Structure 1
């Protein structure tokens, strides 16, 4: 262990204190040798399990370290035998001791969410089941989590068939494979810093985590993934809030992990070694937000990015290991909306 000192200034007070964060020493930007996108990684005991799309299907890897996933054997767990189309962004979670992998497949406006499951992390998956998401619109990047005893599914999708904007939606689940009730929009790309790159404007790759106060967060990616303006931002649910009520969510006032100073939230710095960090995965035990880390130490994550100095294109994305830490007393502000204009609580700092 090493001790790293960081100067911490809250966004609401002109007071600064020194916070000592304990964490493992890190060398470089954490680039792995895996040239791929959209990492989804969970920890099962002392083993890390990751999934990603490859060769018209989905592969799983397991290793004793996060970095070791890059060189671990890729075990194919699903093949697009029905020729559904492009396969993107699988997400692995556990529920009731069983593994579930959610992914999108389709062509153009036909992309929909599917799920496969198994009692084993890297084998034994059956045929895909299409999720009957409310609205039945274009959908990607969906994942399952449980909050306050209720299963929820959160994803990125279209309001209609035009695809001019990708929003974040949430719906209740009665089981890991069965949505119930309506879909609810919880975020739209309407802030200037998340509209730098458009056609369409994008909120995608939602990742749930619970902060030390027990508040729910959805960290997501903004701006087009084809641009170095891609970045991570945060939605924080107010204390006692309803995840299905858009006005109970407060959005960070800028990117929390990105490559351009003018897009960053005040007090957050741009990256040094990578361009366009996005589609992160909090490496939680079983992918369960009940295992979200406490305040204090840094905790691990994976994300994809392009090395600085390299042309920014999808084929140049790599998996990166990184860390994050809870950052307290952070105020998010909003205007022209019902309810209080500000909400103060935990945010996140990300480190390459």
Structure 2
């Protein structure tokens, strides 16, 4: 990961410099954000030195450009709906994006499965109220995808896309990109994501991918389960 910085949003940026991450392993898709007055950095990477699977990590920051302390695993692709790619077998959690729901709970929306096939999708991690973002067991994972062309891997009550496939790696449109400006419940708000027109067949996916605009809104009273444990709160719905 690299960082550029400036005192102005429109000019004067520094050259790109490495962002020193704990353990110095392969890393992509990093995002810095503030939650309860503490800076954090969340990204996708490898636990070790080989491409076995892509894990979501989080670390504390002492400033917007300085990571401090250890890295902590918050999600690994271990659910059945995150492991449906077979050619090649793919184990991916990537593209983490923070957003804060109307109850003040932190969510990390991320992409699962391979970005080169129809199983690519958006899914959710919800931090329980009062939880520690660096403690994996304070996070509850949705029980399926929220945005995908494959209806078979969707969470109950969510529906597959109609016009695009391979959808994922999104960006919420938030004021100043700050999750503390996350929108209220009710209306829909802008979303960007990439995908491939569903009618394209065959399609090279990466070579035929487009940016799409869509919308999202909060969806209330949704329960995520983990073994005998459960957590109920806000979730998200996405629209093409």
Q: TM-score range by the shorter chain?
A: over 0.9
Answering whether residue 52 of structure 2 is matched by residue 164 of structure 1, we say yes
Structure 1 match to 2:218: 326
1: CA distance, partners of 2:229 / 2:213: 35
Q: What is aligned with 1:78?
A: none
Higher RCO (CA < 8 A, seq sep 6+):
1
| Residue 46 (structure 2) pairs with residue 173 (structure 1) | no
Of the three residues 116, 120, 136, the one matched with 1:246 is: 136
What is the aligned counterpart of 2:198 among 288, 308, 315? 308
- In structure 2, list runs of 5 or more residues that go unmatched: none
Alignment deviations for residues 194-233 of structure 1 (CA, whole Å, 9 cap, x no partner): 1112544100000000000000000000001111210000
Which structure has the greater CA radius of gyration? 1
> Shift of residue 317 of structure 1?
1.0
Are residue 232 (structure 1) and residue 232 (structure 2) matched?
Answer: no
Q: Secondary structure at the match of 1:286?
A: helix
In the comparison of the two structures, how many residue pairs are matched?
236
Which of 11, 19, 22 in structure 2 is aligned with 1:131?
A: 19
Give, in whole Å, the separation in 1 of the partners of 2:152 and 2:44: 25
Quick one: distance in 2 between partners of 1:132 and 1:199? 31
TM-score (norm 2): 0.96
How far apart, in 2, do the equivalents of 1:292 and 1:199 lie? 35
Match of 1:289 in 2: 179
Secondary structure at 2:207 match in 1: helix
In the TM superposition, what is the alpha-carbon distance from 1:313 to its structure 2 partner?
1.5
> Which TM-score applies when normalising by structure 1?
0.66
TM-aligned CA deviation for residue 312 of structure 1: 4.4
Unaligned stretches of 5+ in structure 1?
1-112
Greater than 4 Å deviation, 4+ residue runs:
none
- CA-based RMSD: 1.1
Partners of 2:224 and 2:125 lie apart in 1 by: 9
